[in-house]
Amino acid sequence: MPKNKSETHEIILRAARAEFSECGFEKASIREIAARAGVTSAALYRHCANKEDLFCQLVEPSVKAFRLWRKNHISLKYMQMEQNIPVSELLKNNDIDMVREVIYPHREDFRLILTKAKGTRYENFLHDVVNEDQKEMIKVLEFLKTRGKNVVEFSEKEMHMILSSAYTAMLEPVVHNYSMEETEHCLAVMEKFFMPGWQKIMGF
Q: What are phi and psi of 182, to 5 degrees?
A: -65, -40
Q: pLDDT, tens digit, for every residue of 7-37? A: 999 999 999 999 999 999 999 999 999 999 9
Mean pLDDT lowest among 77-91, 139-153, 188-202: 77-91
The Cα-based distances of 168 to 88, 89, 165 in angstroms read 25, 25, 5
Q: pLDDT, tens digit, for every residue of 51-106? A: 999 999 999 999 999 999 999 988 888 888 888 777 767 777 788 889 999 999 99
Exposure of 2 by Cβ count < 10 A (0-12 exposed, 13-18 middle, 19+ buried)? exposed
Q: pTM above 0.85?
A: yes
Helix and strand numbers, DSSP H then E, in the chain: 10, 0
CB-based contact 67:78 (threshold 8 Å): no
pLDDT band at residue 2 using 50, 70 and 90 as cut-offs: very low
What is the enclosing helix (H) or strand (E) of 183?
helix 180-201
